[in-house]
Amino acid sequence: MINAHEIYPSPDEKKLLAGLYKWPRVIAVTGALGSGKTEWCIDFAEALSAFSPVVLADMDIINPYFCLRSIAEIIERDAREAKNNLSVLIPPGGMSWGDLTYLNPAIRTRITDASISTVLDVGGDSQGGLALKQFEPEIKQAGYSLHFVVNPFRAHTATLEDVSAMRESLESASGLEVSGVIANAHLGSAATPEDCAKGALIVRDFAGKLGLGMFYALADARIAGETAALLPDDIPLWPLRRRIFAPWDKYEK
């Protein structure tokens, strides 16, 4: 069994990748079910915490199972061990797993705090957009980047028309504009470097036709090196460390 921690890129490598762009204080991340957006939120927030204190906020009201709140303690433990300036904000107390959707009201306070950066993990459809809508004035005032994580191997984002429709729905509901895309062309543990590279090129084509840039392509850290070798030099490849596992996954945790 391969230990992911042995091949996971160093914090300095991730810092270099995160530093390729000048980020505003608020980074909201959205994507359809199965896009891997939450994994991206965690990895990106950890890297971003090298530059300033970061709060990673759970705003996913669509899928309460494969989400930040399920591993919040693990994320914060890892942050302490790595001495990262990262904290996690989830619904308080028993509201984390209640039948009714609930967002921590402290999110607004964090967004308006000029001394920190905030990464928001948001659901991907119009419901996710509505979750963002309630913080729209504060997000716009702070300055934001809205990342749209796209997996072209999932049914809801398999075509340009699908991606365009989801983008329009999100923007209409939230009042915010998508800033760029993240290509995460994974097929779970079965993904190959060829799959990830092919998917990244598909997503870049989608983004270009929609007038958007592509910030990064993602690949599991285990196959990131091989994937990068298949991509053109102008696509930054982010080696992604998986933290959220389904019961049937066989990865080393």
- The domain total for the chain is 1
pLDDT at position 175 is 95
Would residue 111 count as lying in a domain?
yes
Q: How far apart are CA 69 and CA 74, in angstroms?
A: 10
Would residue 5 count as lying in a domain?
no
Domain limits at 215?
Answer: 26-240
Would residue 249 count as lying in a domain?
no
Would residue 252 count as lying in a domain?
no
| CA distances, 106 to each of 10, 70, 118, 233 (Å) | 32, 19, 12, 41
What's the CATH number where 184 sits? 3.40.50.300
Instruction: Note the pTM of the prediction, 2 decimals.
Output: 0.86
Would residue 161 count as lying in a domain?
yes
Mean pLDDT by 10 residues, the chain (253 residues): 45 88 96 86 92 91 62 82 88 53 84 96 78 94 97 93 94 95 86 94 97 96 93 94 61 42
Would residue 250 count as lying in a domain?
no
pLDDT at position 213 is 96
Q: How far apart are CA 145 and CA 53, in angstroms?
A: 17
Would residue 115 count as lying in a domain?
yes
Kindly state the tokens that stand for 82: 């790595």
Q: How far apart are CA 198 and CA 187, in angstroms?
A: 12
Would residue 246 count as lying in a domain?
no
Alpha carbons within 13 A on the beta-carbon side of 44: 30
Count Cβ neighbours within 10 Å for each residue of 140-171 and write b for 16 or more, e otherwise. Answer: eebebbbbbbbbbbbebbeeeebbeebbebbb
Q: How far apart are CA 191 and CA 220, in angstroms?
A: 8
